[in-house]
Structures are given as C-alpha cells and as structure tokens.
Structure 1
Amino acid sequence: MTLRHRTLQRADCEIHYWIGGPDDGPPIVFTHGATLDHRTWEPQIEAFTARYRILLWDVRGHGRSIPNRVPWTLREAADDLLAILDREDIERTVLVGQSMGGNLSQEIVYHHPGRASGLVALGCAGNTLPLSRRERLQARAVVRMLPWYPRKTLIRQEARASARDPQVREYVREAASRMAHRDMVAVMASLVGALHPEPGYRIEIPELLLHGEHDRLGNFRTAMPVWERRDPLARHLVVPDAAHLANQDNPDFFNDAVLSFLAEHGLDSPKG
C-alpha cells in the first residue's frame, strides 16, 4: 500500500510523516529509534494497513525531518507527535516504539496518559524503572564520552549491533550517516536524561515489551521482566533470531506478536 506523505511545520523544524490504512481503522503510531527514520517500519506496513490506520514519522533531526534548528530534546519530540495526532484528529492511539521511539512513547504515556490506549516497547529502556548505582554511573559516563567518540566508529558499531541481517545493517549505516555528529550526541544524551525513576508509578494500559534474543545494546534482558512484574497489563516476549532491530530481523514473529496483543486487549477496534 502507498502511504500518504504529509508535513507539519513546528518550532524550527518541518516534521514529515506518513499515513496509511483505512481512515476509520484503529490508529497505531510507529516511532523509530535514534539515528534512524520511518523506514524502520517497512516490514510492518503491509501487515498492519489491511486493518489499522497507521502513522509513521521521522522524528525531528532524523530522516526527512532534517534540519532541526533548536537543541534536541525528547520532550520537544514528544510534543511534535502530539501535534501530529491533534492535526489528524487522533485522540487515543496505540504507541509502538523501537529504542528511542519507545522512550518517546513512554513519555507521552507518563505526561498524557489519556492519549495512549496501548504501548508496544521494542528494545528500549524503561524510563521510570529504578536504576542501580552502577547503571547511573554508566549512563553518566556515556554522556561524557559521546562528544569525543569518532563519528564513523559510532555509526559502524551501531550498525553492527543493531541487526543480524546485512541489509538491515546497511540501512542503519545509511540512515545514521544523514545526521550531523552533534545531533547524534544530543539525541543520545537526551535519552539518558529521560531516565527518571518513579517509585510507585504504574502504567495501567496494555503493554507488550519485546527485545531481540541477540540484543546486546541495553539491559533489556534483565529490566523488561522487572517492568512486566511492575505493570498489571504488561507482557514480555523475546524475539528469536533477532538483535536490536528485531522488527526487521524477524518481522513475521514481531508482526504476529503485536497483532495478537492488539486482538487480545480489544485494541483492534476503532474505539480501542
């Protein structure tokens, strides 16, 4: 299916997004990870547009939403998405996010809980989960190191760690190469800053938490079971034969898991 391309002018950045599927279908928003773009979700388009109204977008500073002329923050990016939803008259939607996209989706759930009917988090940290002293120190070290890290090395290592499929690795290299190094550093530093442990906080909407079997980029293997136990409607799954971009490494498993999750919780109807 051909997606309809649209733009929205925001503060010092033109945001590009794409809409597909039936206009009266239940809405789903797919948000990509850091340094990538909406093409992250190409393996999902055909499976979801048959029934759902899907929205893909390039987060400010990524893909076609370049240039971004203001300092990048996760809060500003989340506000961009809310503005898109308002423009498209989408009051509540399922939020699907990979890595950074999952962090952004969680911020919307935290600050605007009425806008989300469900959350699918793929290969991302839990923004509000507790952090050990070691994890806090590691996060600070990453922020200090990033400005001095060689750009080409960063892109090469990101591509190698992101996927098992060579074609997916090439996509990561190509997409990341579009970003200026300062923007890459700002995005990654902002994600570290987005971790804000909230004792007693619970997400009360249905959640599907996934990470690739071979994902080594975060603490998902240990953190997502904690996340699952914390939230009453959360379920954790491991995507076999997949790394960080598990939706591309194993799209059949990912698509089936998400579609089953949506049906199980009644999120496959327009009212969600």
Structure 2
Amino acid sequence: MTDALSFDGCDLRYGDSGGEGVPVVLTHGAGADHVMFDAQAEHLRVRGFRVVVWDMRGHGLSQPAAGPFTAERALADLRALIEHLALDRPVLAGQSLGGNLGQALVRRDRHLARALIVIDSAWNTGPLSWGERVLLKMAAPMLLALPARRLPELMANASAVTPSARADARRAFSQMPKEDFVQVWKAAVELVVPDPGYRTPVPLCLIRGLHDRTGNIASAMPRWAQAEGVEEVVIPDAGHMSTQDNPRAVNAAIETFLDTLTRQER
C-alpha cells in the first residue's frame, strides 16, 4: 500500500484496486492490519470488484496514530476514507473491530453502504447477559496485567488455529505497544451498545470461524442471524482470524453473498 490520506493528524495508508466494479471496503480487526485480507482482496479484485484495504490509525503502516485510539476517531477515519475515494455506497466488510465499525457506521447512516459483511465480530446491539457484561468490563484490566512481551504470542494463539495465520498474527500484534492495544480494545467495547430491537437496514452477511472462542461471538452470532433472518456462515478449520485460517472458505462465502446482492440490484 503506497497511498495515504492525511486526516486528523494521521497518514491513513490504504490500497485501492480501482475500476468500475462494486466497491468493497475491507477493515481489519484490533491489533491486525490489512494483510489479514490479502486473500480476499485478490479474490474479489480478479472478479471485478473495486477493493479497498486500509490500516486503521496506530495499526500497520498508519503510524504514528497522532493521539489515543477511540471509537469515534476510527469511525471518522473510515467515513473520511470512503468520502476521499468517492465510493458510491460501498459494501463494508470487517473482521472483529472492523465488523463493529461497519455495524456502527451503517446504524448512523443507512444510506452510506449497500451491504454489510461481518466476520468474527461481536453483535453491537445484541442483548448481553450479566456474565457477558462482567467479562467486557474485566477484559482491559486483564490485558494490562499480561507481560508485554507475551501479549503477541498469547493473542496470536487465541485468535488463529493454523501455523501460518498465527505467525502473521504475531507479526501484526508485535507492531503495537501493549498500552495502545488495550486502548483499541476499549474503543471496541464502546461500540457494543445493546438495543435488541434494532435490525440492520442493509443486506447482511455473517461469517464466523467454527473455533472462534473470542468473547461471546460463538454464542451470539447464531442468535444474531436468527434475529435478522439471515444464514450464519460457519467456516471450518478456522478461529477468530478465519480470513487467514481458511481463506478459501471465507472467499466463497463472500462471493456467494455479493453475487446474490448483485442479482437483487439488477
């Protein structure tokens, strides 16, 4: 990625395949970077989509962050990128925190995107049990208690199941100081605001790794799919980073959804 958008003190690095196809913006998760979508970006580009990947501020190539990472800043960055590239109602696809951002942006402006693809991400507006609320509250202190040198290895092992995906996760997590990662985690929690009556106003695709044990994703996403009346796609041989654990299956799920979306728009 060689392009950059200077916004709010940070050079946001991005890649844009260009072309006249339906635009798809791929947003990575907390602590990761655009590399996690390498397989999906190429797959979609070859099939004629205009693919945009980027690194959130403080992640990957978008450093320094120029201030604390917050949910509002991340949302403003994503909206600024869409406006900068003059994308016409892109499909927003995000993994983990990227999925949280996509949900929040669509909720604020239903006309901004034509569809939403959420991969291994929490349900922003889903109901939370007492235990789930406690876990969300305790996660940041628990992360802060971990030795900084152990965090990349622990996060990689918790996020991925294949050796190659874990290796890349260690690379990505090693780029971010522990305190910054905890700040990003806190921002993600800010986006989880229960509102059980809310329904996504655009076509929705839900994808989850079979072995994703992050937070309450494994239990909440099936309930989310049922509430929205959509099919949850469960990716075999994959954990939280299903885009890298089993890229072919994720590619197929995204392609099927986009093909259906394209037919409906004709």
TM-score by length of 1: 0.93
Secondary structure of 1:136 counterpart:
helix
Gaps (5+ residues) in structure 2?
none
What is the match of residue 232 of structure 2?
236
What is the match of residue 118 of structure 2?
121
CA contact (8 A) 1:242 1:249 kept: yes
CA contact (8 A) 1:20 1:54 kept: yes
Query: How many equivalent pairs are there?
Result: 265
Counterpart-to-counterpart distance in 2, 1:268 and 1:28? 17
CA contact (8 A) 1:75 1:107 kept: no
TM-aligned CA deviation for residue 165 of structure 1: 1.8
Counterpart-to-counterpart distance in 1, 2:225 and 2:215? 17
Counterpart-to-counterpart distance in 1, 2:196 and 2:96? 23
Gaps (5+ residues) in structure 1?
none
What is the match of residue 226 of structure 1?
223
CA contact (8 A) 1:118 1:267 kept: no
Output the amino acid matched with 1:87.
H
What is the match of residue 44 of structure 1?
40
Partner of residue 204 from structure 1, selected from 183, 195, 201: 201
CA contact (8 A) 2:17 2:45 kept: yes
Secondary structure of 2:2 counterpart:
strand
Secondary structure of 2:234 counterpart:
strand
Q: Is residue 181 from structure 1 mapped to residue 178 from structure 2 by the alignment?
A: yes
What is the match of residue 71 of structure 1?
68
Partner of residue 258 from structure 1, selected from 238, 254, 261: 254
What is the match of residue 195 of structure 1?
192
Counterpart-to-counterpart distance in 1, 2:167 and 2:192? 30
What is the match of residue 150 of structure 1?
147
TM-aligned CA deviation for residue 31 of structure 1: 0.5
What is the match of residue 134 of structure 2?
137
Secondary structure of 2:231 counterpart:
strand
Secondary structure of 1:90 counterpart:
coil
TM-score by length of 2: 0.95
Task: Indicate the percent of aligned positions where both proteins have the same amino acid.
Answer: 38
Counterpart-to-counterpart distance in 1, 2:74 and 2:13? 12
Structure 1 residue ranges (4+ consecutive) displaced by more than 3 angstroms after TM superposition: none
CA contact (8 A) 2:151 2:178 kept: no
Counterpart-to-counterpart distance in 1, 2:125 and 2:228? 11
Q: Is residue 97 from structure 1 mapped to residue 94 from structure 2 by the alignment?
A: yes
TM-aligned CA deviation for residue 267 of structure 1: 6.9
What is the match of residue 18 of structure 1?
15
CA contact (8 A) 2:33 2:59 kept: yes
CA contact (8 A) 1:207 1:235 kept: no
Note closer, same or farther for the CA distance 1:263–1:206 as it changes in structure 2 (3 Å cut): same
CA contact (8 A) 1:143 1:192 kept: no
Higher mean Cα deviation, 52-61 or 75-84? 75-84
What is the match of residue 243 of structure 2?
247
How large is the Cα RMSD of the aligned pairs?
Answer: 1.6
Counterpart-to-counterpart distance in 2, 1:236 and 1:170? 28
Output the amino acid matched with 1:29.
V
Higher mean Cα deviation, 129-138 or 221-230? 221-230
Counterpart-to-counterpart distance in 2, 1:267 and 1:114? 19
Counterpart-to-counterpart distance in 2, 1:175 and 1:243? 17
Counterpart-to-counterpart distance in 1, 2:8 and 2:235? 38
Secondary structure of 1:147 counterpart:
helix
TM-aligned CA deviation for residue 116 of structure 1: 1.3
